[in-house]
Every structure is written in structure tokens, then in C-alpha cells.
Chains A and B, each alone.
Chain A
Amino acid sequence: MSDTLLAVTNLTMRFGGLTAVNALSFDAKRGNITAVIGPNGAGKTTVFNCITGFYKPTSGNIAIAHTPGTSLLLDKLPGHAITKKGRVARTFQNIRLFGGMTVLENLLVAQHNELQAATGFGVLAILGLGKYRAAEKAAIERAKYWLDATSLIDRADDPAASLPYGAQRRLEIARAMCTNPVLLCLDEPAAGLNPRESQALNELLLKIRADGCSLLLIEHDMGVVMKISDHIIVLDHGKKIADGTPAEIRSNPTVIAAYLGEGDDDDPDAPIAETLAAAQ
């Protein structure tokens, strides 16, 4: 249950003179929900972008162990292979759906690589030959499974852009899950959700974990983080300042200082700090 799935070692990311992430190391365990929290500008999204291949780290390693004992370096893979070979999927802070395509099409695009392999370089499928028909059927079945799980099945034939905000968040998660990942990275999945939607999201994330996919999430909503995380990593100014279970983090004086200490009065993180303080 608790072997390491993702190992980040000495990750450093510089943009010109700015060091966004500085010699960061942490592990995410298989079957866990690992949360990365920290004040705005702490470097959380940068870490995500490094893990999912959108940025090339300045130095350091990111290794994933699909089965215990193996290791695959994500930072050596080209961007698009992270999903394919690395089996790491992600969502975005500002939702990125294919708005003009239907919900179902969004989920089929997510299964592009498997489907494309069944088309015989496109030629056989154009001629209606080969095993493409069966592959597409299987892909639709998988899409249906995640549509059920995200309660979007009734909207399957609607364009993604027409969905309400909360449903778009869920669709993005469903789409990421259709790539069949071992690790799902969620960038602020609860942002902008109302309490009821937030609750539904918690259940969805727990279901994903129960299905055998580990999760890594960035989140500001402490209600979500504290309730469902198995492990929390706290970043500040690109460095890890704490690491532990929700209970440990809640009572960690460094963390409280990071959230309360240097913040201005109009610090956007203030509500989080209050939540944190209240939770304590």
C-alpha cells in the first residue's frame, strides 16, 4: 500500500533569474491522495508543469514506478509521452476542454493513442477494415464508465462549452481518467465549486483512488485537502517547508507561519490561513 509511486528528487526550475522551485524533493505513495499546498506563488503549479512535461526542469529528477521496483524518469520523456508512457494525466487550473466538441468526443480524444493504434495508420479504418470498430466500441464503453462516475452521462452529446462550470471540472477529470493513468495530477479541482459540488468532487476523487489510481493535487480549499488527503506537502517560495499527514500539517508551526506570517492584509491566501487556524 505504501510504496513510492512518484519520487521527485532535487527538482529545481529557474525562469531567467527567478527560481520558482528550489531543490525540491518529495515522494507520493502508491494508492494515496497526496496534496501539495502553499501560499500563492509558492511554485505549486510549476512543480505540476515539470511533472507533466510542460516545463523541462533546470535540474533534478522525477521518477515514476509503475510497478514496485521499476523506475521511469519522466523528465527524460518528450512532453506528449508523459501521458502515454509515463501514464501521468493532469487537469488545468483554468479549465481546458475542447469546447466545440461533445462531452463524448472529449473523452474519445483522450483515448487517441490506443484508438489510433487500431486504425492501421488510418488507411484500414478509412476503408472500413481492421479492428477499429471494436476498438471504438471499447473506447465508448470506457467513456461511458467515467461519464457515469462523474454523472455527466445525460450530457454526453452536448458540446463541452455548454456545460455549467462544475460539470466542466468533472468532465476534465473524466477526460484525464480516460487516458488510463496511474497518477492523476489535479490543479485546483475545487476552485469555483459550491459546497455541494465540492462534496461531490471529494467522493469522485475517493472513487478514483479506490479504482487504483493515485492522486496528486494542488488545492486551496482546505475543506477538500484536510478531508481526503493521505499526505500533504507544503511549499513556500519554491521550497518544501513541511511534509506529513493532515493532522501533522495542521499543527505544524512553520506552516502556520508561512500562511499567516508574511502575508499582507489583502493577501488572497488569508481565508486559507483562517481555515488553517480554525482547523487547529
Chain B
Amino acid sequence: MKHLVANIKDSLIVGGVAFLLFGPFLGLKLNDGVKGDLTLATRPVLLAIAVGLTIVARFLLLLWQDHRATRLPAAKLATSVAKSGKYIAPVLLVFAIGLPLVPGIDNSYIDLGVLVMTYVMLGWGLNIVVGLAGLLDLGYVAFYAVGAYSFALLSHYYNLTFWECLPLCGILAACWGIFLGFPVLRLRGDYLAIVTLAFGEIIRLVITNWVSLTGGPNGIYDIPHPTLFGLTFNMAGGPGTVSDFFHIDPDPSQRTTYLYYIILALALLTNWVTLRLRRQPLGRAWEALREDEIACRSLGINLRNTKLTAFAIGAMFGGFAGCFFATRQAFISPDSFTFIESATVLAIVVLGGAGSQLGVALAAMVMIGVPALLQDLQIYRMLIFGIALVTIMVVRPRGFISTRKPSVSLGKVKIITSDMISEGHG
């Protein structure tokens, strides 16, 4: 009883704080006045609702905390999730492959699948850098932009097709990964994060301001869509199109489906390469680097090369994804490559559980798929995204799947729990 009184008191205090926090923003509203000046309107109901909700939420949180002692320990939960990963992964794969084949599926869902899969791929690419090598990269969008603009410019100036550009985009992005990786080799932790962020912003600003080459803020239009062995997807039909060749009616979902399988294949390639590399000296060196850089050096591991390969390979997949993004949108502008993109991809990696491929895929589905489905809440999408980031971090700081599977074993493989794994200094 006394406890309850204390809880109520606590909730009311929180409500008081909420009143002061929300007061100026929810209780008042700036409007443009008639004479070009500003006027203020009041919104007492909105403020009252917000404060009331805060009090209730706080009270429920306190109740839940009182009961938490009896709940399943988080570590146990994590292991069970990781174990069930054996079954979840194949199910997800079958679902991913089968999605466009579901009879009568709406084109918009396939399109959403393309979007989610793009972020899965970006997440897996960044996972190499952040999750395996422990290098905190906040400017990953730079490589995405390099890939997208490489393709857009190559097709614009030299009429190269998507399939010709795809490898080039990967190579160019990898070169940029090395080029930008070189100066930051000695940096660690948050410093590395902030410099990579600066690089990402520099690249975006250069793209924005180099109008003669990139079209500046207006972007580049009419980027060609990918072709299927030379056949194009065209609504009008006609010779040389897919619909004409296969004698089917042209339908927008054909191109979407084709795009979907391209990005699915690219994402699976990323996943496959990562999984193979993890079992190799290079992958192990990355993980060792994340665990202890000085010990790595004492074992004769070339830190420079190890870090640069992580940057380069991560960047390469970012470049592939960027190239795909350009061909999918047919139009790109610097607006698509803001810091928010980097933050989103990093959030996907961390929420998924740095280093876990399955976790990253799940996080991408949750963070991209769910908000996209909430069409009605479009204006609140980023607000919800921000709240979700904070909440998930507070509840599960190490992400959905925080355990690690050893890359090699003498006997039975034992899953390593997160408290053993260090998160890297770089």
C-alpha cells in the first residue's frame, strides 16, 4: 500500500516535469499572423492528454519494474532467441524468396520488400565494419552515395547499363572506403564515429554544390532501369520488352519483382561473403581487432591492412546497394544521402545485435518495414523511429541477438553470451 502511494507520488512528479517539458511545445503553437508577424495559440487539451499519458505510462512502468524480478532473465531469453535462429533463418529465407510469388500480392508490398531488402543489405555491409571489426562508422551513407552517383553519372555520360556499372560501383566504393579509411586508422571510438560522419557530410555537400557534374540539389533524372538479358520492362510493350518476348501483358509488378530478386540476390551475396569471411583468418582478425587491438598487434597482425579491408569490403557492398538504389529510383539527389540514412543503418546494426546476421535482418524488417506500413502515421514516422531507438536501446542495449557463434570448434559449438564479448574501441 505504502509502495503504491510512493508510486503514485513518483508518477505525479514525473507528470509535473512532463507539464514543464511539453508546455511550450504542445500547449502553445506558433502561427503566422496576418501582418507577417507571429501569433501564439493555446492547445490545453493536447497538453493535458500528453501529461496524462506520461503519468499513466510512468505508473505502469513502475508497476512492471516491481514485477520484473519474477520474469525470465534476459540472458536466457537471448540464448533461446539465438538458438531458434537455426529455424528462423531458413523460414525467413523461404519467405523472402516466395514473397513476390504469392498469388494476387499487391505491387506495393513487393516494393516495400525491395526497400526492406535494400536496408538488410546495407545493414549486412555495415555489419562487417561495425559488428565484426568493431569500427564505429557513422558515415556509411557516403559509400551508398558513391555507388548511386557512380552509376547515375556513368549511365548519364557514357550510357553504361546497370549490369556493366554494378561491379564498377562496388569497386569505386571500395576505393573510397580505403581512401577514407586511411586517415582514420589511428582513431578510436567516438572520434572515429564523428570523423566518418564528417566524411559522409563532406561527400554529400560536395555532391550538392558541384552542380555542373551532379546537377546539384536537383539530382540526376532518367537513370536507366536494369534489363533482363537486354530486354527492358516497358508499360507500353513493344519489341525488345519482356512482355513482348514472353507474350505476357505488361504489368508494373514485373519490373518490381525483377528488382526485388536483384536486391535479394545482392543481399544474399553480402551475407554469404560475410559468413565465409568470418570463418577465415581475415574475419577472425576483424573480430580479434574488435576484442583487443594491442593484442592483435603483438601477434603480428597488420592492423592497417585489417582495418582497411574491413572498410573496403563494407564500402563495396554499400556501393552495390547504392547502384541498385539509383536504378530502382531512376532519380537520385543529395537528399537521399543525409546523415539520417547513416544513423538508420547503424541503428539497424546495433539493434539487431552487432555481428549477428540474422539480428540485422530482423532489425531491418522492424525498423523499415513497420514504419512503412503505418502509412496513416506518415508525419509521425520519424518521431516514432526516434522513440523506438531510445526505447529499444534502454531495454536491450546489445540488440536483439547479442550472442556470438564461434567460427571454429574442436567439439560441440557453444554459443558465447554477450557479457564475454567486448565491443571494440575503434
Point out residues on A near B: beta carbons under 8 Å.
52-54, 79-84, 89-90, 92, 96-102, 104-105, 108-113, 115-116, 119, 122, 125-126, 132, 136, 140, 144, 153, 156-162, 175-176, 179
Contact = CB atoms under 8 A, between A and B. Distances in A.
10 contacts: A96-B294, A98-B295, A100-B290, A105-B408, A112-B284, A113-B300, A119-B281, A122-B309, A156-B411, A157-B414
A102 B407 CA distance: 9
Contact of B299 (A126, A156, A175): A175
Contacts of A53: 297
A116 B282 contact: yes
Contacts of A82: 300
A99 B421 contact: yes
A157 B420 contact: no
B301 A157 contact: no
Contact of A81 (B290, B300, B408, B410): B300
Given A80-B302, A109-B284, A157-B411, A100 B296 contact: no
Interface string B394-414: 000000000010111111111
Given A102-B414, A109-B296, A153-B410, 16 more contacts: A54-B297, A80-B302, A83-B299, A96-B295, A98-B295, A102-B409, A104-B406, A104-B409, A105-B287, A109-B284, A111-B281, A112-B281, A112-B288, A122-B282, A140-B410, A159-B417
B285 interface: yes
B180 interface: no
A122 B285 contact: no
Contacts of B404: 100
Contacts, number: 136
Interface centre among B291, B302, B303, B417 (most CB of A within 10 A): B291
B409 A109 contact: no
A175 B300 CA distance: 12
B422 A122 contact: no
A99 to B, nearest CB: 5
Contacts of B420: 99-100, 159-162
B388 interface: no
Contacts of A99: 291-292, 420-422
Contacts of A176: 298-299
Interface in B303-337: 303, 309
Interface in B239-286: 273, 276-277, 280-282, 284-285
B416 interface: yes
A110 B285 CA distance: 9
A176 B298 CA distance: 8
A102 to B, nearest CB: 5
B281 A115 contact: yes
Nearest to A111: B281
Nearest to B306: A112
Contact of A98 (B277, B292, B412, B413): B292
A128 to B, nearest CB: 8
Contacts of A96: 292, 294-295, 298
A119 to B, nearest CB: 6
A110 B295 CA distance: 9
A167 B32 CA distance: 72
A153 B302 CA distance: 28
Contacts of B281: 108-109, 111-112, 115-116, 119
B410 A157 contact: yes
Given A100-B404, A101-B288, A126 B273 contact: yes
B300 A84 contact: yes
Contacts of A110: 299
Nearest to B415: A159
Nearest to B273: A126
